[in-house]
Structure 1
Amino acid sequence: MCGASTVRRALIAGVIDELTLDIAPVLLGAGERIFDGVETLGFEPVEVLHSPLSNHIRYRRVSWRSRRRRPRSARRVGSGA
């Protein structure tokens, strides 16, 4: 099992709270897609660093409560009888 498939299995299992991706425009071998089979990520970027040779992006898991909460104006108010 290689690095990409290990990370993919952990993402699918939901056991990762923070993820740092270091992206460089170099392909070593055939490469492997890290997010294949991952239906939803549920992460938000918290830090992005750019350089001429690579990008570094740090993601943090968004809690399910904050994703599901609707603003007060969108909440339904019960109708009176």
Structure 2
Amino acid sequence: MDMLDRDLLFLVGLVFFPLAFVALVSAWADRRFPWAALILVVLGGLVVVWAQLTHPGGGYDWRTIPDLLIETAARYWPR
């Protein structure tokens, strides 16, 4: 296992996008600027793009994300 698990970082970056949407809706409802949403989108985007660009074999295929989630969870699940 790598010291820096690209699969895990890719999945964490993908989780940031729904959280950004929630932060955006919350900021819109409170009539304030969506700083948290902006930060989450930027961080999530940077992590996902970095993981895509540095992934051995040329990047991730979006159709395999469910399999990637299961495989990554299985690596970190205590035995």
Scaled by the length of structure 1, the TM-score of the pair is 0.21
Bigger radius of gyration among the two? 1
Greater relative contact order, per chain length (Cα 8 Å cut-off, separation 6+) = 2
- Choose between structure 1 and 2: higher strand proportion: 1
Larger helix fraction of residues: 2
TM-score normalised according to structure 2 size: 0.21
